[in-house]
Amino acid sequence: MSKIKILLADDHQIVLDGLKSLLSDINDFEVIGAVSNGKDAVDFIATKEKPDIAVLDIDMPVMNGINATREIKKNFNGVRVLTLSMHNEKGVIQTLMDAGADGYILKNSSREELEKGIRAICRGETFFSTDVTMSLLNQSTEITANNELPEEVKDLTEREVEILKLVAEGYSNKEIGERLFISHRTVDTHRTNLMKKMDVHNVAGLIRIALKSGLVD
């Protein structure tokens, strides 16, 4: 029986060592490489060996997991990508899925769930760990309960609602960008669009609508 070839990428050596040890104990899994950033993961696939699946962290130096996912999906047909991260915000998860990730598992998941996810993704399925699924459901309930929101908020996209909430909570464009893994210029564009859509002219107006809609307490 052929083994599932796995490439690991995480900038914490202790995490890499732990994952490698854990996955190597599974008979039909083979860890063919372990690197510390997204660029090294892309280079490994290009110059050494093509894995069946790359298991990538998000927060890595040189090239983060989002950009690495985009590069892998663009250049290496057939390589699947599983994100392994501590981030459970809907916007971050959506950004990874938009980049082409095949699954998303939180780092506090069990070995059994990680193994299940790798096998499911290698069968061509999409996989979310239980905690990620619950987070998506809970945040969707909080953000998209349109029957409880005022008319001006019903027309917003999920990303715009998410940014509106973070603006109202006092986060700067830079901080919002870091949380959602988008540029501060993209955040600024969203904020400008929010003001136009809701016919307000400053952040105070955005905060007032966020409070009225129940997005923040």
Please indicate, yes or no, whether residues 46 and 109 belong to a single structural domain of this protein: yes
Q: Are 182 and 191 in contact (CB under 8 A)?
A: no
Read off φ and ψ for residue 125, nearest 5 degrees: -95, 165
Pick from 45, 132, 55: nearest CA to 101 = 55
Please indicate, yes or no, whether residues 119 and 151 belong to a single structural domain of this protein: no
Cα separation, 43 vs 58, in Å, equals 17
Tens-level pLDDT at each residue, the chain (217 residues): 699 999 999 999 999 999 999 999 999 999 999 999 999 999 999 999 999 999 999 999 999 999 999 999 999 999 999 999 998 887 788 788 888 999 899 999 999 999 999 999 998 888 888 777 666 556 554 544 444 555 657 778 888 888 888 887 778 888 888 888 888 889 989 888 888 888 887 776 787 777 777 776 6
Global pTM exceeds 0.75:
no
Task: Residue 161: give the domain boundaries.
Answer: 145-213
Query: The domain spanning residue 193 has which CATH number?
Result: 1.10.10.10
Residue 140 lies in a domain: no
Cα separation, 94 vs 91, in Å, equals 5
Query: The domain spanning residue 116 has which CATH number?
Result: 3.40.50.2300
Pick from 125, 149, 158, 160: nearest CA to 209 = 149
